[in-house]
Structure 1
Amino acid sequence: MQEGLPPTAEDVVNDVVIVLTYYAPYVSGLTNVARDVAEGLAARGWRVCVVTSKHDPALPTHDERNGVRIVRAPVLARVGKGTIGINLTRMALHEMRRSRVANLHLPLIEAGLLSRLSSVPVVSTYHCDVTLPPGLVNGLQRRAIDRASAGALRHSVTTVVSSEDYARHSRMWDVIRPALAEIPPPCLPRGEGRPGFRDGTGFHVGFLGRLVEEKGVEHLVDAFRALDDPGARLLIGGDYLGVAGGSVVDRVRRHAGDDPRISLLGFVADERLDDFYASLDAFALPSVNAFEAFGIVQVVAMRAGVPAVVSDLPGVRTVVGTTGFGEVVPPGDVRELTAALRRLRDDPPDAAAGRAAADEHFGVEAVLDAYEAVFTKAADR
């Protein structure tokens, strides 16, 4: 096949190639979206390839998981949460030349170059703006990623966003708007777990996610400690060891102090997640900035019959707004977060109705149908 020309039928190896910085077994909201779309389409008979960084040197360069072929590019260096390595660009272009359509998951520093050099239609999934602490290096990194994202979005036939609410508040809105497609992340339902994490019959609040700056977990700890309820428990699950950009676990521990009602569980393995959600009376997502654009875990909690209290952030607030199953509070407002927890404790919403609403609006099959339609239309252009 000649460079720059679309693949012929004989050249095509992949129906879709998905490109992103981190992929399973790394765990994050962005990673999980890409994984669930990839594996969901593979289960429907699509030939799916993922090109990603080898974030852990112990991982194989070539791999297959649940019907998805994975190609991992060695990392030359890391800058904050991102990786640097020309191998990813080279490997991605090789697979793109053998695909019907390419799906770039942004933010991705290589996205601008990949979209310009692609010989096949590009669909971008724009997850969120990059938000970094003040500083010269961080400022340069943010501007570089924004330029890459803007370039990729201009060259995309479709831009998928988790919600138009988030997209309208994004720095990329002007380049998202012309080709916007709103598709929520696939949110897998949990099974009927056993409440193995419960400690007594008191009000149990849970958090699940990476312990990083944007999650605002210390505000949840402060809000929980203001509950005058000796029987209450706060279960904090999530990785704080292998976290890109570093974790804030020490800060969370300082805020927790010696309160025996608060437990840091660390990473909760997938086989124990059903038990985790079954142990909760309320789920909290206290994010503090726009790096959180949706919050898949709140939908997972709702689909397990657990109401959520979430921050009033674009995209994040849409789930409670759609289902009515929980509370929305100003980000970082400890007093309002405490009041919301009290309301969920003292007057819990109807769990069956909340679960049904979450199932209706955020079921996996509808999401896969939408992605399948977008990719098919793009490939047929």
Structure 2
Amino acid sequence: MKILIVLTYYRPHWTGLTQYAARLAEGLAKKGHQVEVICSQHDKETALEETVNKVKIFRVPYQFRFLRSVIMLGFFGKIIPRINKNEVVLVFLPLQEIVFVSFLTKIFRKKLFLVHNGDLVLPEKGNCLNRLTEKIYYRTTSLGIKNSEGIIIHTEDYAKNSKHLSLFKDKWRVILPPFIIPEIKEKQVENFLKKYKLQGKKLIGFSGRFVEEKGVDYLLEAIPLVIKKIPEAHFVFAGEHKVNYEKFWEKIEPLIKKYQKHISLLGVLNQEEIFVFYKAIEVLVIPSRTDCFPFAQIEAMLSGTPVVCTDIPGARWAIKETGMGELVKPKDPLELTEGIVRVIKNKESYRENFSKAQRIFNDKKSILDYEKLLEA
């Protein structure tokens, strides 16, 4: 089967979405399929064309950035021959060129599937451009869904609570992303703790971008409440802190400074260190306002670490299915505190569900499910 994967960012760009796309592309290529990827050249140091793990990658230079995306004038000329050559087109949303891509698949009579990674949620206050961008996204994506064979979702829990996805129930195709977790040795954890001067502390972790929807402010507000109950607690944050398309850092910086002795900002960790991070912490916290399917949550579980997560559509699914953590009321630092303390004091009881998490999140099954869908 000849498969074209289309998305804005791909490795070495580091997000949960890009890791999902890369694991899927390489997993399909490993099974003998011809897989191509077309994406932006987000970093001028990356090659315009290269083959990585049997996946042929085409990168298109961009002219300027716009909010979370980029404008690529050369995209249209590059993608036409790629769609013509392949049998199936798989688009990872959000993609601002989705209408153009969906019409091309109709013209060339190619199968089109979309991979949904969460509704577009921009900051609520004070920006008419955000509201306009959301409206354009939903209208263009709706056209893409209508022209597709189906839209791949992580869970029905999120889809049925999405104002957008709930309109297209006949198009839903549920497939879990593939997760590949490396084996982490105790020596790696020791070196990690030493490098970041974290020895002797009970580490409470967060992994993700500092944007409004991720709810980092609620976790920061919970810090003094947790410290009262667990004095040796220390909060470690992995991920991009100062995001250029939101001004959320300015909002939370006073809290960062206020509780700085209880906080370590690790920045974006590399592909090895992020899994050492999951192994080193007592609990991972997902304090999101809204979140489709936080990959960090699953990676932590598959590393043997329990999770505290807000009880919101999509994000709550993994804990309900595995039992590897606690669900708490969203937007409530006190509830978050109680969940964190409960998990830390009873960590081993949550880890008893580790084998169940491994059965549910099986990368081989995920690739097989994709094969069956794309070949049907």
Both proteins in one fold, TM over 0.5: yes
Matched position secondary structure for 1:123: strand
Indicate conservation of the 8 Å contact 2:282/2:306, yes or no: yes
Partner residue in 2 for 1:281: 282
Partner residue in 1 for 2:35: 48
Matched position secondary structure for 1:218: helix
The range that moved more, 209-218 or 157-166, is: 209-218
Partner residue in 2 for 1:117: 104
Cα deviations across residues 212-255 of structure 1 (Å, max 9, x unaligned)? 222111211221331113211111111236x4624744544421
Cα deviations across residues 177-210 of structure 1 (Å, max 9, x unaligned)? 1121111122222312433344344422111112
Instruction: Write the distance in 1 (CA, Å) between the matches of 2:185 and 2:266.
Output: 17
Tell me which protein shows more helix as a share of its residues: 2
Are residue 300 (structure 1) and residue 303 (structure 2) matched? no
The range that moved more, 350-359 or 321-330, is: 350-359
Partner residue in 1 for 2:152: 160
Distance 1:73 1:247, change over 3 A: farther
Are residue 141 (structure 1) and residue 141 (structure 2) matched? no
Distance 1:113 1:223, change over 3 A: same
Indicate conservation of the 8 Å contact 1:190/1:303, yes or no: no
Partner residue in 2 for 1:263: 264
Instruction: Write the distance in 1 (CA, Å) between the matches of 2:225 and 2:355.
Output: 32
Instruction: Write the distance in 2 (CA, Å) between the matches of 1:59 and 1:315.
Output: 34
The range that moved more, 300-309 or 186-195, is: 186-195
Are residue 179 (structure 1) and residue 171 (structure 2) matched? yes
Partner residue in 2 for 1:376: 375
The range that moved more, 133-142 or 275-284, is: 133-142
Q: TM-score, normalised by structure 2?
A: 0.91
Return the offset for 1:79. 1.7
Return the offset for 1:308. 0.3
Instruction: Write the distance in 2 (CA, Å) between the matches of 1:335 and 1:352.
Output: 24
Are residue 107 (structure 1) and residue 94 (structure 2) matched? yes
Matched position secondary structure for 2:241: coil
Distance 1:317 1:260, change over 3 A: same
Instruction: Write the distance in 1 (CA, Å) between the matches of 2:215 and 2:90.
Output: 31
Matched position secondary structure for 2:65: strand
Instruction: Write the distance in 2 (CA, Å) between the matches of 1:174 and 1:212.
Output: 25
Indicate conservation of the 8 Å contact 2:149/2:171, yes or no: yes
User: What are the within-5 Å matches in structure 2 for residues 1-381 of structure 1?
Assistant: 15-118=2-105, 119=108, 120-134=110-124, 135-194=127-186, 195-196=189-190, 197-198=192-193, 199-227=198-226, 228=228, 229-240=230-241, 243=243, 245-246=245-246, 248-256=248-256, 257-289=258-290, 292-350=291-349, 352-377=351-376
The one-letter amino acid paired with 2:359 is E
Indicate conservation of the 8 Å contact 1:29/1:296, yes or no: yes
Cα deviations across residues 273-321 of structure 1 (Å, max 9, x unaligned)? 23212211111111112xx210111111111110000112211100000
The one-letter amino acid paired with 1:71 is F
Matched position secondary structure for 1:260: helix
The one-letter amino acid paired with 2:336 is L
Return the offset for 1:63. 2.0
Cα deviations across residues 116-166 of structure 1 (Å, max 9, x unaligned)? 121211011111111112422112211111111101100111210011111
Matched position secondary structure for 2:87: strand
Instruction: Write the distance in 2 (CA, Å) between the matches of 1:74 and 1:244.
Output: 19
Matched position secondary structure for 1:206: strand
Instruction: Write the distance in 2 (CA, Å) between the matches of 1:133 and 1:280.
Output: 30
Indicate conservation of the 8 Å contact 2:285/2:307, yes or no: yes
Instruction: Write the distance in 1 (CA, Å) between the matches of 2:239 and 2:19.
Output: 14
Cα deviations across residues 57-92 of structure 1 (Å, max 9, x unaligned)? 332211222221111112123221122223223322
Structure 2 runs not aligned, ≥5 long:
none
Indicate conservation of the 8 Å contact 1:219/1:286, yes or no: yes
Instruction: Write the distance in 2 (CA, Å) between the matches of 1:44 and 1:248.
Output: 43
Identity across matched positions, percent: 29
The one-letter amino acid paired with 2:209 is R
Structure 1 runs not aligned, ≥5 long:
1-13
Instruction: Write the distance in 1 (CA, Å) between the matches of 2:304 and 2:213.
Output: 26
The range that moved more, 106-115 or 224-233, is: 224-233
Root-mean-square deviation (CA, aligned residues, Å) is 1.9
Matched position secondary structure for 1:27: coil
Indicate conservation of the 8 Å contact 2:181/2:275, yes or no: no
Matched position secondary structure for 2:272: helix
Matched position secondary structure for 1:350: helix
Distance 1:165 1:111, change over 3 A: same
Distance 1:273 1:17, change over 3 A: same
Instruction: Write the distance in 1 (CA, Å) between the matches of 2:50 and 2:123.
Output: 35
Instruction: Write the distance in 1 (CA, Å) between the matches of 2:121 and 2:175.
Output: 23
Indicate conservation of the 8 Å contact 2:216/2:287, yes or no: yes
Cα deviations across residues 348-367 of structure 1 (Å, max 9, x unaligned)? 24354222111110111111
